[in-house]
């Protein structure tokens, strides 16, 4: 459990771990040079399972995570943050699952958002998780338990360059070494507040997550050109400056990806729907949600319409034609 200036919540977080029904564990708490009362609160707990590591200078969250992976002695490594709460049977249930499913290298769970009572449900099995990871992170970091042996055997660590989406990048690494799983029940109460890294560094997180999505697709060994990779980045980031030529390139990319998935690394039908939905959103943004509608726009649409994975309704096509033939701004003046 990495901590930094979380005096308001750390006591409740610690208690939730010490009160686990499975009690044979070491509790590594790594403080990143907190300047509030966090350390003194931790030291007020008298439990031999707690091992407090005080870093002399603040060097960041990911550094603390990797230090924890390095010094942990257990067969399994559970993660939590200093502002969350684990339910009492969390460890027992995750260990029981991992013990009976040796092919699974990482086990997460559902969570309940504190103060909103909203339950976040996540995909269960490896096949559905792989597809969901294409859209974003579907394994919540402070819910997970993973195998120490797998991390050590393949020298797997969190990447500083992927912060603050270092967990998402780690899952994408692990999915090639074993299966991922989310238990279909709430095992953690998750706190959301403005001081969280994910709140303060949202733009960086999005950029890092975008890179990881591309890396996941590279498992298909599609051998895309530099231009294709650049286009894929623009499409995924929903760049408003995309060109018609890049739309044509993306349609070509879809074809290449579907062929490369002949090994069924991703579930074929779900993967096809995923790609066609991205294309559909792109088409609607470029052709239908515009400020102006030159006739060239409609001509370009006719050029690619028969290649679309998801067809546009006739009604929308007629509207697009009308806006292109008559000055759209004049029609709305």
User: What tens digit of pLDDT does each residue of 133-151 get?
Assistant: 999 999 999 999 999 999 9
Confidence of residue 119 (pLDDT cuts 50, 70, 90): very high
Average pLDDT over residues 258-287: 96
Q: Name the one residue in this structure whose structure tokens are 């991205």.
A: 278
The span from the CA of 200 to the CA of 138, in Å, is 20
pLDDT at 107 over 50: yes
Confidence of residue 325 (pLDDT cuts 50, 70, 90): confident
Average pLDDT over residues 64-75: 97
The tokens describing 204, both together, are 């960086």
Reply yes or no: is the peptide bond before residue 164 cis, omega within 30 of 0. Answer: yes
Residue 307 DSSP code: G
By CB atoms closer than 10 A (0-12, 13-18, 19+), residue 124 is middle
Question: 244-262 pLDDT, tens per residue?
Answer: 999 999 999 999 999 999 9
Question: 154-165 pLDDT, tens per residue?
Answer: 999 999 999 999
Neighbours of 193 (CB within 10 A): 11
The span from the CA of 22 to the CA of 25, in Å, is 8
pLDDT at 327 over 80: no
Question: Which residues are CB-neighbours of 274 under 8 A, at least 6 positions away?
Answer: 131, 134, 135, 266
The tokens describing 118, both together, are 């909203």
The pLDDT score that the predictor gives to residue 37 is: 98
The pLDDT score that the predictor gives to residue 255 is: 96
The span from the CA of 28 to the CA of 266, in Å, is 36
Cα torsion angle, 74, 49, 39, 199, sign: positive
Average pLDDT over residues 214-237: 93
Q: pTM of this prediction? A: 0.91
Mean predicted lDDT score pLDDT of the chain: 93
The pLDDT score that the predictor gives to residue 208 is: 87
Q: Facing residues of 118 across strands?
A: 113
By CB atoms closer than 10 A (0-12, 13-18, 19+), residue 212 is buried
The pLDDT score that the predictor gives to residue 333 is: 46
The span from the CA of 85 to the CA of 112, in Å, is 10
The span from the CA of 251 to the CA of 280, in Å, is 11
Indicate the range of 14-28, 81-95, 176-190, 213-227 predicted with least confidence: 213-227
Question: Can you tell me whether residue 111 is helix, strand or coil?
Answer: strand
Average pLDDT over residues 188-194: 88
Beta strand pairing status for 2-3 and 27-31? parallel
């Amino acid at each position: 459990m990495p901590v930094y200036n979380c005096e308001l919540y750390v006591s409740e977080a610690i208690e939730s771990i010490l009160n686990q029904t499975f009690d044979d564990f070491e509790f590594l708490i790594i403080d990143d040079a907190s300047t509030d009362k966090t350390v003194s609160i931790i030291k007020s707990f008298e439990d031999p399972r707690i091992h407090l590591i005080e870093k002399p200078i603040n060097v960041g969250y990911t550094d603390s995570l990797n230090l924890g992976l390095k010094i942990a002695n257990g067969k399994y490594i559970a993660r939590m943050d200093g502002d969350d709460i684990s339910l009492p049977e969390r460890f027992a249930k995750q260990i029981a699952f991992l013990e009976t499913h040796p092919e699974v290298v990482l086990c997460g769970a559902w969570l309940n958002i504190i103060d909103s009572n909203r339950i976040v449900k996540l995909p269960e099995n490896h096949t559905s998780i792989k597809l969901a990871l294409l859209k974003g992170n579907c394994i919540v970091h402070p819910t997970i338990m993973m195998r120490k042996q797998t991390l050590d055997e393949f020298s797997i660590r969190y990447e500083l360059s992927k912060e603050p989406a270092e967990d998402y990048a780690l899952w994408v690494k692990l999915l090639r070494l074993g299966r991922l799983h989310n238990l279909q029940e709430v095992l953690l109460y998750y706190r959301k507040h403005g001081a969280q890294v994910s709140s303060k560094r949202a733009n960086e997180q999005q950029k890092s997550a975008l890179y990881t999505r591309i890396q996941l697709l590279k498992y298909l060994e599609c051998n895309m050109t530099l231009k294709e990779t650049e286009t894929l980045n623009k499409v995924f980031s929903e760049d408003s400056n995309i060109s018609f030529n890049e739309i044509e390139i993306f349609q070509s990319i879809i074809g290449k990806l579907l062929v490369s998935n002949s090994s069924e690394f991703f579930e074929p039908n779900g993967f096809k729907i995923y790609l066609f939905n991205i294309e559909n959103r792109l088409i609607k943004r470029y052709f239908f949600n515009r400020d102006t509608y030159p006739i060239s726009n409609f001509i370009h649409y006719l050029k690619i319409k028969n290649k679309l994975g998801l067809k546009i309704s006739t009604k929308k096509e007629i509207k697009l034609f009308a806006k292109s033939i008559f000055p759209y701004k004049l029609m709305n003046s």
